[in-house]
């Protein structure tokens, strides 16, 4: 979630993830070595340092004046195959880094030189 800024998951996992992410952002707002170590302690895997850097340098400054409530949980329709309730969990006030092409923009492909 830290990398993509939002994810789509079941309600139960989203509710559990919210408290986990909120705690990590609070640690990142500390801005010291101990906060970084607490983040890396709770993140397992190869991307621990990368996620800690994203939290400390990108996400924490956006919430410097906010005391809590860094994420929102939006209920979506149930999943088709097993009818499980699905939610979208995302950071508040942070736009995702997604570049989208609007409908009225035309993208032209480069064509290679053809010999006649």
What pLDDT score was predicted for residue 45?
A: 84
What pLDDT score was predicted for residue 114?
A: 55
Residue 96 lies in a domain: no
Does this model's pTM top 0.75? My answer is no
Q: How many residues does the chain have?
A: 116
What pLDDT score was predicted for residue 44?
A: 85
What pLDDT score was predicted for residue 99?
A: 44
| CATH for 69 | 3.90.1030.10
Which positions of the chain have pLDDT values less than 70?
95-116
Contacts of residue 36, defined as CB under 8 A and 6 or more positions apart, other chains included, come to 27, 52, 56
Return d(Cα 89, Cα 103) in angstroms, integer: 26
- Domain of residue 28 covers 6-91
What pLDDT score was predicted for residue 112?
A: 52
Residue 27 lies in a domain: yes
């Amino acid at each position: 979630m830290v990398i993509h800024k939002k994810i789509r998951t079941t309600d139960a996992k989203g509710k559990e993830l919210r408290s986990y992410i909120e705690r990590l952002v609070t640690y990142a707002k500390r801005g010291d070595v101990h906060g970084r170590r607490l983040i890396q302690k709770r993140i397992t895997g190869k991307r621990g340092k990368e996620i800690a850097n994203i939290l400390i340098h990108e996400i924490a400054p956006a919430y410097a004046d906010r005391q809590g409530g860094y994420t929102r949980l939006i209920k979506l329709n149930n999943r088709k195959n097993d009818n499980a309730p699905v939610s979208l969990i995302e950071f508040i006030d942070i736009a995702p880094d997604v570049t989208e092409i609007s409908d009225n923009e035309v993208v032209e492909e480069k064509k290679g030189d053809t010999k006649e």
